[in-house]
Chains A and B, each alone.
Chain A
Amino acid sequence: MRTLAAGPRRWSLACLLVCFCLAGSTASATESLLQKQAPEIVLKDLNGKRVDLHAYRGKVVLLNFWATWCAPCQIEMPRFVAWQTEYRPRGLRIIGISMDDDPELARELYKRLRLNYPVMMGNEKVGEFYGGVLGLPVTFLIDSHGEVRAQFQGETDMNAMQEQLKALLLHP
């Protein structure tokens, strides 16, 4: 009886928590893109293959801006590799954008960390489209309709990011 009575309250609290997390993530980019359509990106990846963000509609996309000189980025990336393997069957697609000036440095790290997702070379235009990428790392979670549902900047609690990602994969 007590369990039945507590159930809905727990569910409500859990739903509130998920909504709060998805809406109020640690965003501090110069212009928030939350609840807006993710700006279109068409670039070539490090292997020369064309990557069009629009083609990922129907999938949950984790879009990560990084660079080889960014220490917090390199803490995150092995987690992304694991998530891409674990959650790919549930519809996750990870895309990296290197903000390095020299693609060779990005290519070296790509190989060293054995990244299992496409990485494109970014530029100031892409940074501006995404609200001003003026510090790294920056990560966006984009739902299956192409809407930005969460964004993270700087050193981030990766367990919290994973929880938000899992919630989004449940309701893409």
Chain B
Amino acid sequence: MNRLTLGSGMIAMLVTLASPIVFPQFAQPNVTSPPESAFSIPLAQLIQPEALNRMLQAGGAEKPLVLQVGSHILFAEAHPPGAEYAGPGSQPAGIQLLQNRVNALSRKKLIVLYCGCCPWNRCPNVGPAFAKLREMGFNSVKVLYLADNFGTNWVEKGYAVEKGR
């Protein structure tokens, strides 16, 4: 009986010690996991900054609707020309704003979502926004892949920006 108790105790201790390694999310208990990670977006739906910049610079062709689904303050500091602010994707109010903005559009309309608030693996906004548009039936949705943030992966690359809300 004593051996059993000792053995159970040791197993419990090992599991506790190993949990941050086996289950990395347990290593940061104070941080709320985003409802849908940016990693949930299929690779085929991503667009690289260079490709979007080229698309926006091209004359004549129909431009995509570019929507920022993160911070309004960061949007006001700099955003791609013609982009619109559509509310933070991680919050219900933001999702509602996004829905209102695109509701009347053709489901074939090319829409590019982006955030760039944080490193890609930490972004809480693009995943839920992408899921919402797919749920609404939009089948030409791309998400701008910003590995670090909008400053590093867009502005510092010298791509075109506008300021203001």
A interface residues (Cβ-Cβ under 8 A, vs B): 28-30, 67, 69-72, 74-75, 78, 99-101, 113, 122-124, 127-128, 132-136, 153-155
Q: Which residue of A lies closest to B122 (CB)?
A: A71
A128 to B161, CA, bound (A): 14
B interface residues (Cβ-Cβ under 8 A, vs A): 28, 30-32, 34, 70-74, 76-78, 88, 90, 116-119, 122, 124-125, 148-152, 154-156, 163
Query: What's the nearest-Cβ distance from chain B to residue A75, in Å?
Result: 6
Q: How many A-B residue pairs have CB under 8 A?
A: 99
With A69-B90, A71-B118, A75-B28 already in contact, the answer to whether A135 and B149 are too (CB < 8 A) is: yes
Q: Is the CB of B117 within 8 A of A154?
A: no
A67 to B115, CA, bound (A): 14
Query: What's the nearest-Cβ distance from chain B to residue A71, in Å?
Result: 4
Across-interface contacts of B156 in A (CB, < 8 A): 28, 30
Residue in A101, A153, A155 whose beta carbon sits within 8 Å of that of B122 in the complex: A155
Across-interface contacts of A28 in B (CB, < 8 A): 148, 151-152, 156
Known: A72-B119, A133-B151, A135-B116. 17 other contacts (CB 8 A): A30-B151, A69-B124, A70-B117, A71-B32, A71-B118, A74-B31, A99-B73, A113-B30, A124-B73, A124-B74, A127-B74, A132-B78, A134-B78, A135-B74, A135-B117, A135-B152, A136-B117
Q: Is the CB of B124 within 8 A of A71?
A: yes
Residue in A69, A74, A123, A153 whose beta carbon sits within 8 Å of that of B117 in the complex: A69
Across-interface contacts of B30 in A (CB, < 8 A): 74-75, 78, 113
Across-interface contacts of B150 in A (CB, < 8 A): 134-135
Across-interface contacts of B74 in A (CB, < 8 A): 99, 124, 127, 133-135
